[in-house]
Structure 1
Amino acid sequence: MVKHKKPIKQGYISKFLKKADEVIGMSIKNADKAFQEGIKKADEALDVGIDLGIISTKQARKEAQRYRKVAQIQVKQLQKQAEKEANRLKNESRKKIKEKIATVKIKTSSRKETLLVLEKLGLLRKTGVITEKEFQKKKKELLKGI
């Protein structure tokens, strides 16, 4: 009989790393975009002001600096959001990994216990305390649980 391998499922660590990369990438793109928009607005304000003669170059420079500061604040906020999301994903993944490890440990110990019970049942059968039919019935029940 040929056994077919099951497709390998992506583990929690791989999923976490992939999600963290996506979040960080998006945050960097958003931060860069916000910064570029701030610079663009500052340049536009400077150009319009000078063209119209409404504001002096000093005023235009102040306006441009104000836009840059706003853009820098937005970048910092986006970086903080990305860091919080990455930490949340890390903690969530750690929790799930610990749960899976605990489940595997429980299953392993119950298998060992089942094998010990089967050995004891085998001894009872050999000594004649239980019949072959009783042994087979109990064996079938125990092996279903593994």
Structure 2
Amino acid sequence: MAKTKKGGYIDRFLKKADKAIEEGIKRADEALDDAVEFGEMAASQAKKTSDELTKKAIKEKEKIQAKGIKKINEGMATARMISGKADEDLVTLEKLGKLRKAGVLTEKEFQEKKKKILSRI
């Protein structure tokens, strides 16, 4: 009879051990499911944040490009203006030279005007 009693303890112990293992596996599966869910949420949030940052970067790039184009256009307009004035000054010098040859201007008057015009170029 002693053997049956001991065998009963072992069977109960093994059943409890099996039950504990099954509960542990069940808890581990639940924890894994939660981890997968949290991982998916984190990935989704990371993608959303990445998309937002990409949109901001594109907008910033467009602003910088627009500013750059504006500055280039301003520089070109200034260069055209300066170039146009230089061309006008050269035409004026030619006219002054003709006036000097014609005797309308003295050499001294011509040199003064010439000096003034050349200082602007």
**1:116 aligns to 2:84 (yes or no):** no
Higher helix proportion (structure 1 or 2): 2
Counterpart for residue 131 of structure 1: 106
Partner of 2:56: 81
Runs of at least 4 residues off by over 6 Å? none
Instruction: Determine the C-alpha separation between the residues in 1 that align with 2:53 and 2:93.
Output: 60
Q: Distance in 2 between matches of 1:59 and 1:123?
A: 95
Partner of 2:37: 62
Match of 2:12 in 1: none
Q: 1:97 aligns with which of 56, 65, 72?
A: 72
Larger Rg computed on CA atoms: 2
* Residues 79-110 of structure 1: CA deviation (Å, up to 9, x unaligned): 11111111111101100111111111111111
Are 1:141 and 2:108 an aligned pair? Answer: no
Aligned residues: 96
- The structural deviation recorded for 1:55 is 4.7
SS in 1 for 2:48: helix
Question: What TM-score comes out, normalization by structure 2 length?
Answer: 0.73
Q: CA RMSD in A?
A: 1.9
CA distance in 1, matches of 2:38, 2:118: 77
Letter in 1 for 2:32: T
What is the CA-CA distance between 1:111 and the residue it aligns to?
1.0
The gaps in structure 1 that reach 5 residues or longer are: 1-49
Identity %: 39
Unpaired runs of 5+ residues, structure 2, are 1-24
* Partners of 2:34 and 2:104 in 1: CA distance: 102
CA distance in 1: counterparts of 2:35 and 2:59, whole angstroms: 36
1:27-66 equivalences in 2 (<5 Å):
55-66=30-41
